[in-house]
Structure 1
Amino acid sequence: MIFDRIKPLSAILAAAEKKSLHRSLGAFQLMLFGIGCIIGTGIFVLTSAGAQKAGPGLMLAFVIAGAVCVVAALCYAEIASMIPVAGSAYTYTYATMGEFLAWTVGWALVLEYAIAASAVSVGWSGYFTGTILQDTFGIVMPAWLSAGPLALGGAPGGLINLPAMIIALLVTWLLMIGTSESAKVNAVLVLIKVTALTAFIAITLTSSEFDTARFNPFLPAGFFGGWGSGVGAVGAAATIFFAYVGFDAVSTAAEETKNPQRNVPIGLIGSLMFCTLFYILVAAGAIGTIGGQPIMGPGGVPFPAGSEELARQCAMPQFADALVCSNEALAHVLREIGFGAVGNMLGYAAILALPSVILVLLYAQTRVFFVMSRDGLIPDGLSKVHPRWKTPYVVTAITGLVVAIGAAFFPVGQLADIANAGTLYAFGMVAVAVMVLRKTDGARVRAFRVPGLAIIGPLTVLGCLFLFVNLPAGAMLMLPIWTGIGCVIYLFYSRSRSHMALGNVEVHEPELAEIGPDIPGLSNKGND
């Protein structure tokens, strides 16, 4: 039977039980940690794509995406406190539903991390070409060097997003040779991001340009845009979900939290609620000052974000300054209302902060690959450790090349949608894993238990499914196609070579601790 191999939880916990974690974190510390993890790429980069899908309804989209994250976060908190080992959703699934489903989750995480890193690279490119080159040095990069052909749908001038490709390759090189950075530097990066967004909110909401009339109509594309359309408030929520990913880093801190039953939900829900409010205020400031109505196509349906049609419309003079056409939305808003210097500072903040997010995403993928290799599901050679750099340089190089190619040829909105498809699948499987463990191993000690799991668990699964079916059709199709490829690899290679098939279920966690150095922004985990 294909679902017959469930790794014993006792084997997975063998290494974790050797460790003793000091409980020192309180609720407020967890909230600050969560805020630092969540705020970043999504809000800096995806504001324009979200506005093109939902218009002013982007604010409602943040609420919808945040609500799904809250219930998913609670499930993550329980299972992470039970299984505090590497591998995340892949490991959780292996312990509850077996090797095959675990493989599909791990395979989805590989897609998620790589595509998310590409999306962040494209977002960085927008701020680099706008803030550094154009507004600081007066250099206008040709369109054929700053946007890939798939971003412009083959429109004249689009060839490759060179800055995005270069930053992806540069970060890959840094990760291969090894870098180190203190927690203080990471804290400075978080402070830069939060300060920049706080300044944006204060300036825009008090600006004389702010006009509530710009919020009408509030839902120009409706609440539901239609299955597979990726528009409307729900379609925007499916894209904006990218702005919240990273909260699961808080759940993994359950083992180091004082009174986790009380403090973990406060930290998780508090940080998510703060970020949701923060995001709504950013969206309100942007839309209220320069407007955020989508550019409509035939039948009153917004042109798809990142499409050829939208690119052609944005090239027209009447839309040149539109929020939905900007590659550096927040800095663009400030320049439009006369705060060019502050806008450039915000751009600098994004340029400084985003490379560390790319690095963390690439690092996270090497962790998943390493765990899968340890389980015998992928060749050992892929996770070979360099003798001098002490990093898994082979898989890092391959991953970095794929990330660079994606960043060079795809727009940020499409990349975020594809990454979200894999993330939503993994989150849904975590909720199922929690429910399964309550049935199969209910007596095991849990540092945190989801209150009302009979309601929260199904809500998480339904919420993830709800956002998934409101992604654009292309993003939805990518997951089953990618999963199909993975299934072929599993059936013809991995299944016969897995350590479970060979009767080896030991866990050697120290291997993971030995690879790689301290990573910049590692505490700033996820897509940010």
Structure 2
Amino acid sequence: MENTTLKRSLGLWAIVMLGLGYMTPTIVFDTFGIVSKETNGVVPLAYLAALVVMLFTAISYGKMVQVFPSAGSAYTYTRETMSPHLGFIVGWAALLDYILLPMVNALIIRIYMVSVFPNVPAWIWVVGYVAAVTAINAWSMGKTSSLNSLLVIFEVVLIAAFIVLAFLQLSKGMGQGTIFTTEPIFHSNVHLGAILTGATVVCFSFIGFDAVTMYAEEAIDSKIMPKAIMLTVFIGGAIFFICSYFAQALFPDISGFKVTDDTLPEIGLFVGGTIFKLIFLSGAFAATVASGLASHASVSRLLYVMGRNGVLPKKTFGYVHPKFRTPVFNVVLVGVVSLLAIAPSLELISSFINFGALIAFTFVNLSVIAHFVFHLKKYKTGKDIFSYLVMPILGAGLTGILWYNLQADALMGGIVWIVIGVVYMIFQTRFFTIKIADLNIDDAERTSSL
């Protein structure tokens, strides 16, 4: 049982599909009202700004996943290149966004189903959805991947249908009344601060490219991981930009929406009528389930690596089921946390997700510098300086700009989460008398080695 490992069963496109599923392409319609309000009607520009930041960070992820082809992502990279203590804090911060994203998916499912069946208690949808996703993830990663791919293909087809209908409505005079317009990208009321604020809201949509690194130990060949990362961020970014362009052209302002916290149902209604609204909701439902499957799988892998390393209780978090070859206990735990989606709002949870994500992004960029410049001394040529110093500094700096524009609630909640992590680390290391690297050794082994 101790030697049970994760199963290598994922090819390039299976991993890309998991990344896209995690990113939930239809989330652009869910958060459209929130971001349009924040940016004064230039949602595509917010996505473009976020994409630029993510590209620099994605390149850093691509470098680090080749050096450390194991699950754990930013936690592993920081732990191995800087400090086990700092790695724990980064992993703890990343847990905040990884463990909350499955809750976001459950929350969105709740919103969708309540909009169609307003008389059914909301908690029923949350419990049913969470139970199904948890069971599939516990059963098999291969089954999770296959179902995720089917759901992603379905949602892409419906996004294409939306674009066709948007063409027709714009040609009939709806919104801007023209297919080709610069208004969704630039107009007289555009302000840089508003764009960056919007970018901090939408950056959580890009977390899928980061999450794919969690599948490094389940990839058929770990060498495909950098390509999978870049394909995920480029394809996802293109979908976000194109969809937000047409949505903004159709709805220059949000005054016509009754509910701005999740505008997807009304966008479907206004663009294609009641029937398309229901079809569009089914696609969004599929997208959210796909994201739920992928995000649930990712966070359970991060918990597994932290458990395997001993920074979380190893017997529970480091356990892999001998038959299913999945971290079953972690999968169930994430399911329990996701049940909290019965109550909170989408905007509040997404802001907390961004706190953890931006910490992870910042330290992945810094890990590149620590490993290649300080450890391997790769700073003797112009190419090395550009690749291993300039690029990650730009990535960390651009991420810092998004940091500056985080909501106050997200900063305060994130700081409280970090403080809890520090207190836990002090307790685990018995006030730093035990090295974090030795936490995966039990007390008997530690005593015999003294």
TM-score normalised according to structure 2 size: 0.80
How far apart, in 2, do the equivalents of 1:83 and 1:428 lie? Answer: 17
- Further displaced range: 191-200 or 33-42: 33-42
Q: Which residue of 1 aligns with 2:191?
A: 223
Total equivalences in the alignment: 421
Q: Indicate yes or no: 2:179 matched with 1:210.
A: no
Q: Which residue of 2 aligns with 1:351?
A: 285
The one-letter amino acid of 1:48's match is G
* 1:461 alignment partner, one of 396, 400, 406: 396
Contact 2:20 2:236 in 1 (8 A): yes
Q: Indicate yes or no: 2:325 matched with 1:340.
A: no
Long gaps (5+) in structure 1? 1-15, 147-160, 226-231, 294-318, 506-528
* 2:295 alignment partner, one of 349, 361, 384: 361
Long gaps (5+) in structure 2? 443-450
Q: 1:414 to 1:455 in 2, by over 3 A?
A: same
Q: Indicate yes or no: 2:48 matched with 1:114.
A: no
Q: 1:290 to 1:168 in 2, by over 3 A?
A: same
Q: Indicate yes or no: 2:123 matched with 1:140.
A: no
Q: 1:44 to 1:497 in 2, by over 3 A?
A: farther
Q: Indicate yes or no: 2:129 matched with 1:167.
A: yes
How far apart, in 1, do the equivalents of 2:191 and 2:114 lie? Answer: 34
Contact 1:58 1:283 in 2 (8 A): yes
The one-letter amino acid of 1:51's match is S
Q: Deviations over 1:74-124 (max 9, x none)?
A: 000011011101211111111111111111111112211111111121122
1:500-515 alignment runs, 5 A limit: 500-501=437-438
Q: Indicate yes or no: 2:427 matched with 1:492.
A: yes
Q: Which residue of 2 aligns with 1:419?
A: 353
Q: Which residue of 2 aligns with 1:470?
A: 405
Q: Indicate yes or no: 2:254 matched with 1:278.
A: no
Q: Which residue of 1 aligns with 2:30?
A: 45
How far apart, in 2, do the equivalents of 1:101 and 1:492 lie? Answer: 15
How far apart, in 1, do the equivalents of 2:9 and 2:326 lie? Answer: 25
Q: Which residue of 2 aligns with 1:401?
A: 336
* 2:51 alignment partner, one of 66, 79, 84: 66
How far apart, in 2, do the equivalents of 1:345 and 1:66 lie? Answer: 29
How far apart, in 2, do the equivalents of 1:363 and 1:443 lie? Answer: 36
Q: Which residue of 2 aligns with 1:104?
A: 89
TM-score normalised according to structure 1 size: 0.69
Contact 1:290 1:323 in 2 (8 A): no
Contact 2:174 2:250 in 1 (8 A): yes
How far apart, in 2, do the equivalents of 1:123 and 1:33 lie? Answer: 19
How far apart, in 2, do the equivalents of 1:63 and 1:238 lie? Answer: 12
Q: 1:497 to 1:216 in 2, by over 3 A?
A: closer
The one-letter amino acid of 2:278's match is N
In structure 1, the residue corresponding to 2:276 is in which secondary structure?
helix
- Further displaced range: 202-211 or 161-170: 161-170
RMSD: 3.8
- Further displaced range: 419-428 or 198-207: 198-207
In structure 1, the residue corresponding to 2:207 is in which secondary structure?
coil
The one-letter amino acid of 1:196's match is L
Structure 1 position 377, deviation (Å):
1.4
How far apart, in 2, do the equivalents of 1:366 and 1:213 lie? Answer: 47
Structure 1 position 455, deviation (Å):
1.8
In structure 2, the residue corresponding to 1:86 is in which secondary structure?
coil
Q: Indicate yes or no: 2:333 matched with 1:372.
A: no
The one-letter amino acid of 2:396's match is V
Structure 1 position 48, deviation (Å):
2.4
Identity %: 21
How far apart, in 1, do the equivalents of 2:68 and 2:312 lie? Answer: 22
In structure 2, the residue corresponding to 1:181 is in which secondary structure?
helix
Q: Deviations over 1:334-357 (max 9, x none)?
A: 312343322321211121232232
The one-letter amino acid of 1:341's match is I
How far apart, in 2, do the equivalents of 1:209 and 1:324 lie? Answer: 24
Q: Deviations over 1:488-509 (max 9, x none)?
A: 010122455656247969xxxx
The one-letter amino acid of 1:410's match is P
Contact 2:90 2:359 in 1 (8 A): yes
The one-letter amino acid of 2:113's match is F
Structure 1 position 396, deviation (Å):
3.3
Structure 1 position 56, deviation (Å):
1.8
Q: 1:48 to 1:254 in 2, by over 3 A?
A: farther
How far apart, in 2, do the equivalents of 1:112 and 1:377 lie? Answer: 18
Q: Which residue of 1 aligns with 2:196?
A: 234
Q: 1:323 to 1:470 in 2, by over 3 A?
A: farther
Q: Indicate yes or no: 2:229 matched with 1:244.
A: no
Contact 1:292 1:323 in 2 (8 A): no
Contact 2:66 2:223 in 1 (8 A): no
In structure 2, the residue corresponding to 1:245 is in which secondary structure?
helix
Q: Which residue of 2 aligns with 1:13?
A: none
